[in-house]
Structures are given as C-alpha cells and as structure tokens.
Chains A and B, each alone.
Chain A
Amino acid sequence: MNPETAYWLQQALNALQLGSIYALIALGYSMVYGTLSMINFAHGDVFMVGAFLCFLVGTALGLPFVPTLLLSMCGAAVLGVTIERLAYKPLRNAPRVSAIITALGVGLILENVMLAFYPYPQNVPRLLENVTWQLGGVSISSLQLVIIGLSVALMLVLDHVVHRTPVGMAMRAISWDKSYVPLMGISVNLVISITFAIGAGLAGAAGTMYALAYPVIDPYMGILIGWKAFIAAVVGGIGNVRGAMIGAFILGAVEIMVVALLPSTYRDLVVFSLLLALIIARPHGILGQPRVQKI
C-alpha cells in the first residue's frame, strides 16, 4: 500500500488506542452523572491511582499482566466506592454544587497523598512483551492491540450490563427519578455503589493500560487526562454511556490528527477549541437529550 495510506492507517491505530483509554475514563464520568447528576471531579485521580496500583503491584509483587490488571481494577473500584460512601453520600440531598466542590477536594487529597509517597515520577516495569509487526508500512504493536482489544471488550460488557441487565436498568431508572426507585424494591445505595465500582474499575483498567503504554507516571497525570475525558463525555452526551464512548473516540481522533498535522505544542489548544465549538453547537452532546422543562 502507498505510504500515504499507511501513514493514516497508523494514525488511525494510534487514535483508537488513545480513544480507548479516554473512553474507559469517560464512561465513569457519564455513569456517575447519569445516576447522581453529579460531576465526579475526583475521577481523573482515580485513574491516576489505578496507574500507581499497577506500578505498586508490578514492582512489589512482580505479578504478570493479568493479575496486575485485575488487582488495580479491584483496588480502584474499592477506592471509588469508599469515596462515594464517605464523601458523596452525605451530600445527596445538599445543593449540587457542594458535592462538586467536595469532589474537587477529594481529588486534591488523592493527588497529594500520592505525592507524599512518590514525590518523583516513577517508572512502571514492563509487564507485557511488546512485539511489533510490520504490515505493509504500518507498524502494529501487540501492546496496542491489547489495549484496544481489552478496552473494546470492557466497553461491550458494560454496554450489555447497562442496557440488558436488571442492574443496568436500575441505574438508568435512578438517573430519571431517584425517589421512586426504592418503591420498586431496588436499593438505591446498592445501585449507586455498583455504579461507582464499575466506573472506578474501568478507570483503574485505563490507568494500568496507560501505565504500560507510557511508563513514566506521576501524581498529577490524572488532571489533564481526566478533564479531557470529561469534556469528551459531555461532547458525546453526558449521562449517556454510548455517548461517552463516541465522545472519547472523537477526542482521540482529534488529538492524534492535531499532533500529526501541527506542531505538538498546539495540541491542547486545538483540541479544547474544537471541543468547545462542539459543545456550543450542541450543548447536550451528540447523543444527549435535553431534559424538557415544563414552564
């Protein structure tokens, strides 16, 4: 194949990889917003903790990839549920802004606790053998395939859970009206905990995969990535699981394209400007539905 096509195919692969990681994080934002109407500003930092868990498990326990992934996902899930129980649950009936500010505070706590333990960036040990294949001018790495494949698999599982299981139905019910759900015999607390557990677990997975793809990690890594994933979730339609995935892949594609076409310092500028334009053009996001307000 000609070099031009090969180049763009390469970029497409990169975009898929980046988009996959964003998608796993964006899903957490969307799910929490969907059930609690709250922006979980600490989510990006849960992603960061996931990366550090991968590092910890990898260096301290020396386990191979799969157990490490599972452990960091579980660790992140536990963290997510704990945060919800301690910091967000007391504020369920408080003004929404209070919960958001609390989330900001929790994020800061996570960052600074990590900073206390790891004041310097850390190197994540290589847990996966990275084999590269050349296919007509396009280099495909096994790591890339693992990331994309795993992420897509997780997303499919999640989509199934949200749209085809009772738990998912309960989550969607809560997003429309919290007060009537208990009358149906569903424990709101349990469903919310599950929501947070899943969202955080996915972020943990994203953290692990990110740590393997870009092995240098630091406590502030969650901030920029978290905010970008959040905006991506909004572009796709916040509260909507499929929208979050779409938004994230759009974000990945835009970022890779920008880096391919322009000097890399322009990356964030162009990305945020495009996202801003998208949000202004369609405030409720691509798959979002404006809540109709009766006047």
Chain B
Amino acid sequence: MPLLLVSGMVLALAIPRFNLYNNYVQMLLMYVGINIILATSLNLVNGYMGEFSLAHAGFMAVGAYTSVLLTMHVLPPETLAATFPLAVLAAGAVTSLMGLLVAIPSFKVRGDYLAIITLAFLMIVKSALENIDAIGGPRGIPGIPRLTSVPWVFAWTVTLVWLIRNFVYSRYGRGVQAIREDEIASDLMSVDTRRVKILAFMLSSFCAGVAGALFAHLLQFISPRVFDIVKTTEVLIMVYLGGIASIGGSILGAAVYTLLLEILRPSTVASLLSWLPAGLFDPLNKYVISHLGVLRMIIMPLLLVLVMIYWPRGIMGKREFRIFVPRRDKEAHRQKPVTEGMSNHGVADSP
C-alpha cells in the first residue's frame, strides 16, 4: 500500500508539472478526488452509523465560503500558494463545529426525524448565505483564485480517506456501527453513544468542509445555489450506489458517478464513436448523441433506480475491499479451531 501511495503522489505531482494530460482530464481527476472525500465522509454518518443525513451540501457550503473568505480577504495574496492548506484546514475546522451543532439533535432523535432536521439545516444554511450581502448574497462570489491542484487534491483525498478508515477500524468506528445495529444495546455494552455520535458528525463535516474548500478553489466561483438539495442528492447517489458502510464502495461510487456523468457528454460520446462509418454514426448523432446533454440527466437517475432495485445495498454494501482492512483486524478475525483440553462446562458443541 505505501508503495502505491508514493507512486500515486509522484504521478500526481508530475501531471500538472509536465502537462501529462490536458486540462480537462486534470479537472476531471480533481473532481473525482473531491467527490471521493464527500462520499466517504457522508458514508460515515449515513452508512456506518445508519442515519440519513441530508446536510452534507450545507457543510460543503460552510467550508467553501470560509476558505474563500480566508484566501480572498484575510491571507496575504503573495503567500497563497503556501498558505492555501491552512485555509483549507481552517475551513474544515469551522465546518466541524457546524457538525457538532447537527449532532446534538441526534441524541434524542433518529431515523426520518433526524433526516428532516438535517434537511432543515441545509435549507437554513443556503438561505442564510443568500441573505448575507457581504459575501455576495444570491449572486455568489466570482473570481476565486485557482489554488486547487492535482497534487493537493491527491494529498487531501488520501489523507482524509486514511483518517476515516482508521477511525472506522477503532473503538469509535466500532461504536458507530454498533449504534447503527442497535443503539440501546450499544449503550448497554459500554459505548458512550453521545460522544461517538459527536465524533462521527464532526469528522464527517470536517471532510465535507475541506471538500468544499477544494471545490471552491477549483470551480473559481461559488454561490448558495451550488450547495442545494441537488448537490446533497448527488453525494447521496455516490454513497448508496457504491455501497453503504464501505470505504472502497464510496471511492467506487464517487469515481463511477463522476466519470459516467462526464463520459455521457455529447462531445465525449461523439469522439468515442467517431470511428464508426458515417452511415451508422450520422443518424446516431442526430437522434441520440446531440440530445445526450439532456438524456444523461435522465440516464443517470434511471441507472440509480435500477441499481437500487437489484442491489438495494449498493455495489459494495457493508462489505470492504481487503486492501482497506488493517492487517490487525484481518488477523483478529482468523478462524482457529478450538483448542484441546478444555472441558465443556455445560457449553454444548451443537447448537
């Protein structure tokens, strides 16, 4: 694994430096990375903890706006290349405080009611941002400096996924999953459910804030409209498509969703199929490809509905790629035969 990461980092640094791929592909890679961060962090609350949070776009918004305020009004412009990570970190920290706010109702309320509370939170954040003229109001903030780069996205993605994975394979992560399975039983089995919920929400929102910051400095424009229920829905799709309670699943879901959405563009499909003879290509182009712009927004959710019907838990539902499971946990689960010489003490061998 470390070798893979090092070579990945080297590649990530090389891409922009030597322009190994064109701008479009680089942008795509960065979006994939940001979406991976969003999906894995949402999976922590929605998948591992079994809640249904709709607030994620709201957290993204908080992170985006915080980071932009810092890079455009607080930090000295000459230092931005170096201080950008600080702005991103600060954005994540502020967002995690918002996560703490959302965690509090979760103590008393679960399931659909918590979903609605998170929805209301999202709407409130969006409305609040629309009303603060100092940060652009409904028109948003244009002209954000392009500070996000392939190496930065790679570094943040790898770091945050690693932190989330470590969290999952610790007593806190196990506590999160216990809460999902049976909250009362967890409490009775010594899990401090309040603390665990707070930690899960804070970590999840921290990552969403970082993603928002990276997103803002990639798109170079943000407005409240960008962080609405549709955005949350996109992340939900990535999580449930890839599979709940699975880090590999979230990575898969984010990658598949982002790439599929891009591939289904008229220009891409046209160039992919350009080798077809004109007799076949022209009618295809006229009736299908040129309408792909609209069709793809129908094909995507249609695919989602089909996936949900046939794989309700998503592609990797509650399962994990072995590469993400720490060795310690793999060894702990080895199935050794029962040792000799222990008396039964009334414990039968048959059920």
How near does chain A come to B165, taking the closest CB pair, in angstroms? 22
Contact present for B131 and A104 (CB under 8 Å): no
Name the B residues within 8 Å of A279 (CB-CB): 113, 116-117, 120
Give chain B's interface secondary structure class. Answer: helix
> Is A105 an interface residue when CB atoms closer than 8 A count as contact?
yes
Name the A residues within 8 Å of B52 (CB-CB): 97, 100
**Which of B46, B108, B301, B302 counts the most A-chain CB atoms under 10 A from its CB?**
B301
> Is B348 an interface residue when CB atoms closer than 8 A count as contact?
no
Bound complex: CA A107 to CA B300 (Å): 12
B112-143 vs A, Cβ < 8 Å mask (1 yes, 0 no): 11011101110110111011000001100000
Contact present for A97 and B229 (CB under 8 Å): no
Q: For chain B, which range describes its interface: under 10, 10 to 19, 20 to 34, or 35 or more residues?
A: 35 or more
Bound complex: CA A268 to CA B127 (Å): 6
Select from chain B the residue with minimum beta-carbon distance to A268.
B127
Given contacts A97-B240, A231-B119, A234-B116, contact A269 B298 (CB under 8 A): no
Contact present for B301 and A113 (CB under 8 Å): no
Name the B residues within 8 Å of A292 (CB-CB): none
Select from chain A the residue with minimum beta-carbon distance to B110.
A283
> Is B233 an interface residue when CB atoms closer than 8 A count as contact?
yes
A-B contact count (CB 8 A): 117
Bound complex: CA A128 to CA B112 (Å): 40
Name the A residues within 8 Å of B131 (CB-CB): 265-266, 269
Given contacts A98-B312, A116-B291, contact A276 B117 (CB under 8 A): yes
Partner of A269, one of B112, B128, B240: B128
> Is A185 an interface residue when CB atoms closer than 8 A count as contact?
no
Contact present for B294 and A39 (CB under 8 Å): no
Select from chain B the residue with minimum beta-carbon distance to A38.
B112
Bound complex: CA A138 to CA B191 (Å): 61
Bound complex: CA A98 to CA B307 (Å): 10
Residues from 62 to 94 in B contacting A, C-beta threshold 8 Å: none
Given contacts A97-B240, A231-B116, contact A105 B302 (CB under 8 A): yes
Select from chain A the residue with minimum beta-carbon distance to B184.
A295
Contact present for B113 and A283 (CB under 8 Å): yes
> Is A272 an interface residue when CB atoms closer than 8 A count as contact?
yes
Name the B residues within 8 Å of A268 (CB-CB): 123, 126-127, 130
Contact present for B233 and A104 (CB under 8 Å): yes
> Is B304 an interface residue when CB atoms closer than 8 A count as contact?
yes
B18-53 vs A, Cβ < 8 Å mask (1 yes, 0 no): 000000000000000000000000000010000010
Name the B residues within 8 Å of A123 (CB-CB): none
Contact present for B229 and A227 (CB under 8 Å): yes
> Is A2 an interface residue when CB atoms closer than 8 A count as contact?
no
Name the A residues within 8 Å of B313 (CB-CB): 95, 98
Contact present for A265 and B229 (CB under 8 Å): no
Given contacts A268-B123, A279-B113, A280-B109, 5 further A-B contacts (CB under 8 A): A101-B237, A102-B309, A105-B237, A106-B301, A283-B108
